Chain A
Amino acid sequence: MKNWQPQGDEGVNTRFRVNSPRVMHERIEGEIIVIDLATGSYYSLRESAAAIWTELERGAGEDEIVAALERTYEATPEELGSSVRALVEELSAEGLIEPAGENGASAADPAPPAESGRRRAFGAPVLEKHTDMQDLILLDPVHEVDARGWPHPAPAGADGA
């Protein structure tokens, strides 16, 4: 994907941000629930997918995400990197994240301390997508009205005014 390529000497460190306010997300008992107001789709990310989302939200680049996953999961850096890239591409394609840009690209805060105990088996991240409520958006699309629309009354003689 265009936005997830090595950048000169900096390595693979493109940073992303959640596409707010279009996208809302909450963590509930380790699971991330994401809703896209533009499409009416909502998503669930568990386990490794939730971990990657959390790192992306912190502003981590791929190297940092892989390093964080290595502390939790038993997998090679290559396997983790491949999984991270695949999920990032999917999240980008869905419009849930976007490149943070130069101004917004700040190094992530230090990752939380490594979990104690043994590392867990790694399962490829899954973005679970639900589209059963899209009709609510398609039937009743919401348009935010700017300063030229409301609250200024329609011009005299406008249809229905």
Chain B
Amino acid sequence: MPASSSLASGLAASFAAACDASGALLAEPYRIAGEPVSLRFATAALRDRLTAAFSHLRADPAGEEPALTINLWDSASTGCAPPPHPAVPEGGAQGALYHFSEPPLRGVYQPGFESLSVLDGEARTAWHWVGSAFELAYWDQACPIRQLLFWWLGSRGLLQVHGASVGTASGGVLVVGKGGSGKSTVALSSLGSGLLYAGDDYVAVGLEPAPRIESLYSSGKLEPDHVQTLLPHLLPLLDNADRLASEKAVLYVQEHFPEQTTAGFPLRAVLVPRVAASRPESRIVEASRAAAFAALAPSTILQLHTADAGAFQTMSRLIERVPCYGLELGSEVGAIPDTIAEFLAGLPPA
């Protein structure tokens, strides 16, 4: 038996044992990037922690054949042993990530976070195991199964990028830049405005037949002091208000602003934010495509860890296809959505 088949069967057996132990198989239908995706959990403990971010993409159980079935379980809530995983040396960095790509399988294992993700592209099946549903990092709850979605989206011609996105049903913007550049501030400032919220950290982009944003997560994350000083009206809505000493502030948009979440919209422009707090107003300014690419590509590649040169080239094509601007962020954060809405309204029809 090929090693890859052995791994797949081992994962399937481990998930089946976890379901047997819990006496449950909790299957939930979602529609991600327009495709039916089934998330199957062995326990409610893990389901409840991983599905809040996808709640805006919940689909009706219409009996559609899933384009992807993801099996998710943990050892703590099921009492089951971990699934097969690679032997790794001790003493590495906590975030050390072991990656393999052996078609049709692709996987990552992070021993420091007790996290294992494997995608079988041929079988349209994926497995995601974590050590404990009760000890998930806040970012893994806000943006779950990022690697699996990145690979699966890639197989469907979509690219998961590091960026925020807001807009209207007729079109929106992709806000790009490294962590701390203002992406989340822009996205979360839109809550309560007339803009739709597609994400603050990771969204998917499709280029054919026309550039489009596909929302992945309805979560938002921001440094706690930024919430307190810039967006204090969001404080009562935080999901982790009791843990802000050690975590970024997290809120789930679908829970509080369900009318503002979206599955996606046409992509009309790329914006590179820059803080310009000496002025109250925000404004759209010119920016070179090279500056937009430098803001988008390195952070996407380095955040996603397993991205390759193809992803780099796709982002180059994206920057060529979509107009790029700077977004100077003034001190009146509440006025940012109006600046973006006026900008979008002023664009020529797509």
A residues near B (Cβ < 8 Å) are 20-21, 24, 26, 28-31, 33, 35, 37, 40, 42, 44, 130, 132-133, 136-145, 147, 149-155, 158-161
Interface size class of B (residues with CB under 8 A): 35 or more
Q: How far is the CB of B307 from chain A (nearest CB, A)?
A: 9
- A140–B302 CA distance with the chains assembled, in angstroms: 9
Which of chain A's residues have a CB closer than 8 A to the CB of B305?
Answer: 140, 142
| Interface residues as binary, B93-116 with A (CB distance below 8 Å gives 1, 0 otherwise) | 111111110100101011100000
8 further contact pairs, Cβ within 8 A, besides A42-B294, A154-B85: A20-B309, A141-B95, A150-B100, A150-B107, A151-B3, A151-B102, A154-B87, A160-B85
Number of A-B contacts (CB under 8 A): 130
**Which residues of chain B from 106 to 133 have any CB-CB distance to chain A below 8 Å in the complex?**
107, 109-111
- In the complex, whether B170 has a CB less than 8 A from a CB of chain A is no
Q: Chain A residues near B107: list those with CB within 8 A.
A: 150-151
A109 to B13, CA, bound (A): 56
Please, could you name 20 A-B residue pairs with CB atoms under 8 Å apart, sorted by A? Answer: A24-B309, A26-B312, A29-B288, A29-B289, A35-B298, A44-B290, A132-B178, A133-B178, A140-B95, A141-B96, A143-B97, A144-B99, A144-B100, A147-B3, A150-B107, A152-B3, A153-B6, A153-B7, A153-B86, A158-B87
Question: Is B228 on the interface with A (CB-CB < 8 A)?
Answer: no
Q: Which residues of B contact A (CB under 8 A)?
A: 3-4, 6-7, 10, 82, 84-88, 90, 92-100, 102, 105, 107, 109-111, 178, 288-290, 293-294, 297-299, 301-303, 305-306, 308-309, 312-313, 315-316, 319-320
**In the assembled complex, which residues on chain B have CB atoms less than 8 Å from the CB atom of A161?**
82, 84-85, 87
Q: Which chain B residue lies CB-closest to A140? A: B95
Most buried by B among A151, A160, A161: A151
A26 touches B3 (CB 8 A): no
Interface of A (DSSP majority class): loop
Q: Which residues of B contact A158 (CB under 8 A)?
A: 87
Contact A21:B309 (CB < 8 A) given known A28-B293, A33-B297, A141-B93: yes
Across the two chains, which residue of chain A brings its CB closest to B301?
A35
Give chain B residues whose Cβ lies under 8 Å from the Cβ of A30. Answer: 290
| B98 engages A139 (CB within 8 Å) | no
Contact of A33 among B4, B88, B178, B294 (CB under 8 A): B294
- Give CA–CA (A21, B320) in the complex, Å: 23
On whether the beta carbons of A21 and B308 are closer than 8 Å, the reply is yes
Give the distance in Å from the alpha carbon of A20 to the alpha carbon of B303 in the complex. 19
**CB-nearest residue of chain A to B102:** A151
For A37, the chain B residues whose CB sits under 8 A away are: 301-302
A88 to B41, CA, bound (A): 54
Complex Cα–Cα for A37 and B92 (A): 18
- Given A149-B86, A150-B107, A161-B84, A136 and B302 touching (CB < 8 A)? yes
Indicate if the CB atoms of A28 and B86 lie closer than 8 Å. no
Bound form: Cα–Cα A71–B348 in Å: 41
The verdict on A140 contacting B96 (CB below 8 Å), with A151-B4, A161-B82 known, is: yes
Q: Which residue of B lies closest to A136 (CB)?
A: B302
List chain A residues, Cβ under 8 A from B7.
150-153
Distance A143 CA – B297 CA, assembled complex (angstroms): 21
Q: Cβ of B109: which chain A residues have Cβ within 8 Å of it?
A: 150
Measured in the bound complex, the distance between the Cα atoms of B258 and A66 in whole Å is 61
Closest 4 CB pairs of A and B: A140-B95, A153-B84, A31-B290, A154-B87
